[in-house]
Amino acid sequence: MPYDPSNPLKDRITDIGPKSYEEFLPPVIKNNFGKWAYHEILEPGVLVHVAESGDKVFTVRVGGARVMSISHIREMCAIADKHCDGYLRFTTRNNVEFMVDDQSKVEPLKQDLLSRKQPGGGFKFPVGGTGAGITNIVHTQGWLHCHTPATDASGVVKAVMDDLFDDFTSMRMPAQVRISLACCLNMCGAVHCSDIAILGYHRKPPMIDAEVIDKVCEIPLAIAACPTAAIKPAKIKKPDGTDAQAVAVNVDRCMFCGNCYTMCPAMPLADADGDGIVIMVGGKVSNRISAPKFSKVVVAFLPNNVPRWPETTDCIRNIVEVYAADAKKYERLGEWAERIGWEKFFEKTGLDFTHHLIDDFRDPAYYTWRQTSQFKFTA
């Protein structure tokens, strides 16, 4: 019985929550739940987990674009029906995992996955993303769906992953490298703890849409939204000559975060030249060896050169290569940078150290200045 718009509350069901995960576990997983003994990465993208019972589950991990059509999902379902008894799973980093319970089923599955190509030549299901390599980039919505982005998401990720593809399918890094992208400071993707973070950033203060601001905005909310108190109430002349309640932005204090725009649609700040990308590095979330770390800004601006963002892909490739050549086994990017010292990080990567990289935001800034005479000379 379908929904009846004239009687919307009739037979309504609410608050049933998600489906239970138990319905979706492949039998071999269900049978050995909580009884796994060890695992091994057999080759890039292929894992085996061995249970105490001796049962094994083989996983083939493939990359996905996160933005997925239902035709693509249906194709995955067909593969899972053919090889995996109708089960599959996704990872937090938008990879897809196909699981089988016998080693003999791995190769046919892998070949099937790798044989499927897009018209432009790209893999539909590239196998990889395990171990000390570069796995899928987690990212946000970007120009495809959001109202505040300073850069695209899917397009940048496609460009970067094309460039790093060989490191998705291999494991030559000193440790895993997690790359994330958020298309604005809101960081829906929480990129602030990634080995390499690609962050969309505006560089111009908001405009004031005088014609409508007094109608569409709660002015006190816009004022309160500004973290640097850059906004104050002001009277302005509307195009029709009448006075209106509006706001003025103290440009010196604006850090272009876009919070005011989130609160007030009459304060847009997007700009073709102003917007671009900040590169941050050295963050991690794992507690392994060293404590979790925030990422640090190492490049203050790269332009939105559509459609392939060459400056961004080059910058990331450079950082990855220098890290891969210089870091010790097991050393995450941030651990490496801290060991050699950040001044050496800039020397080795050849990245330009500019005044934009010295923190000037409130208290946290002070803790990042050097308070010792111990430092290294760089060329």
Partner 1 sequence: MKHKTPLLDQLESGPWPSFVSDIKREAESRAKNEKGVDFQIPADVCDDILGVLELTYVHKRTHWKHGGIVGVFGYGGGVIGRYCDQPEMFPGVAHFHTIRVNQPGGKYYSTEYLEKICDLWERRGSGITNMHGSTGDIILLGTHTPQLEEVFWELTHDIGQDLGGSGSNLRTTSDCLGKSRCEYACYDTQALCFDLTNEYQDYLHRPAFPYKFKFKFDGCPNCCVASIARSDMSFIGTWKDNIRIDQKAVAAYVAGELKPNAGAHSGRDWGAFDIQKEVIDLCPTNCMAWDGKQLEIFNPECTRCMHCINVMPRALRIGEDTGLSILVGAKAPILDGAQMGSLLVPFIKAEPPYTEIKELIEKLWDYWMEEGKNRERLGELIKRKGFQKLLEAMELKPLPQMVKEPRTNPYIFWKAEEVEGGFDRDIKEYRKYHQR
- Residue numbers 268-327 binding ligand SF4 by CB under 6 A: 269
Q: Which helix (H) or strand (E) holds 231?
A: strand 231-237
- Interface with partner 1 in residues 167-226 (CB under 8 A): 168, 170-173, 176, 182, 185-193, 225
- Interface with partner 1 in residues 37-96 (CB under 8 A): 37-44, 49, 57, 59, 63-74, 76-78, 80-81, 86-92, 94, 96
Binding window for ligand HEM (CB under 6 A); candidates: 85-93, 99-107, 205-213, 368-376: 85-93
In the complex with partner 1, the residue whose CB is nearer, 87 or 345, is 87
DSSP for 252-301 reads GG-----HHHHH-TT-----TTT-EEEEEE--B---SSS--B--EEEEEE
Under 8 Å between Cβ of 38 and 50: yes
What tokens does 355 get?
């005044």
Binding window for partner 1 (CB under 8 A); candidates: 112-120, 237-245, 314-322, 367-375: 112-120
Binding window for partner 1 (CB under 8 A); candidates: 101-109, 230-238, 253-261, 338-346: 253-261
357 binds partner 1 (CB under 8 A): no
Query: 126 — phi, psi (to 5°)?
Result: -65, 135
Q: Is the Cα torsion angle 335, 340, 343, 349 positive or negative in sign?
A: negative
Under 8 Å between Cβ of 191 and 180: yes
Residue 113's alpha-carbon distances to 22, 43, 175, in angstroms, are 26, 15, 26
Crossing angle, helix 70-83 and helix 106-115, to 10 degrees?
Answer: 160
148 binds partner 1 (CB under 8 A): yes
The rounded radius of gyration (Å) of the Cα atoms in the chain is 25
In the complex with ligand HEM, the residue whose CB is nearer, 170 or 186, is 186
In the complex with ligand HEM, the residue whose CB is nearer, 17 or 121, is 17
228 binds ligand SF4 (CB under 6 A): yes
What tokens does 127 get?
């196998």
Binding window for ligand SF4 (CB under 6 A); candidates: 88-96, 127-135, 141-149, 211-219: 141-149
Under 8 Å between Cβ of 263 and 225: yes
Q: Is the Cα torsion angle 16, 17, 22, 24 positive or negative in sign?
A: positive
From ligand HEM, partner 1, ligand SF4, none, interface partner of 89 (C-beta below 5 to 8 A by class) = partner 1
Binding window for ligand SF4 (CB under 6 A); candidates: 22-30, 222-230, 308-316, 361-369: 222-230
The DSSP secondary-structure symbol of 303 reads E
**Of these, 7, 252, 272, 370, which contacts partner 1 (CB under 8 A)?**
272
192 binds ligand HEM (CB under 6 A): no
Closest CA to 75 of 112, 107, 129, 101: 112
CB of 33 to ligand SF4, least distance (A): 13
2 binds partner 1 (CB under 8 A): yes
Write down how long the chain is: 379
Number of residues in contact with ligand SF4 under rule CB under 6 A: 28
297 binds partner 1 (CB under 8 A): no
From partner 1, ligand HEM, ligand SF4, none, interface partner of 349 (C-beta below 5 to 8 A by class) = none
Tell me how far apart the alpha carbons of residues 227 and 297 are, in angstroms, rounded to a whole number.
20
Tell me how far apart the alpha carbons of residues 308 and 162 are, in angstroms, rounded to a whole number.
10
In the complex with ligand SF4, the residue whose CB is nearer, 183 or 320, is 183
**Of these, 182, 196, 213, 219, which contacts ligand SF4 (CB under 6 A)?**
182
CA triple 356-359-364, angle to 5 deg? 165
What contacts 367, CB < 8 A, 6 or more positions away?
none
Name the residue number minimizing CB distance to ligand HEM: 91
For ligand SF4, the binding residues (CB under 6 A) are 140-142, 146, 148-149, 182-184, 186-188, 205-206, 225-226, 228, 230-231, 249, 254-260, 269
